[in-house]
Amino acid sequence: MRPGTMYKQGDIVLIPFPYSDLSENKQRPALIISNELINETEDRICCLITKNARRDDMIIKKEDFQTGTLPFKSFVRPQRIFTIHQGIIKKKLCTINRDFHNKIIDKLCEYVKGIN
CATH fold for the domain made of 11-110: SH3 type barrels. (2.30.30)
20-36 average pLDDT score:
91
- Rounded Cα gap, residues 80 and 91, in angstroms: 21
17-23 average pLDDT score:
81
- Rounded Cα gap, residues 29 and 32, in angstroms: 10
Q: Which pLDDT belongs to residue 1? A: 41
What does the domain layout of the chain look like in residue ranges? 11-110
3: pLDDT strictly greater than 70: no
Read off the pLDDT of residues 40-53 as tens digits, 9 standing for 90 and up.
999 999 999 999 99
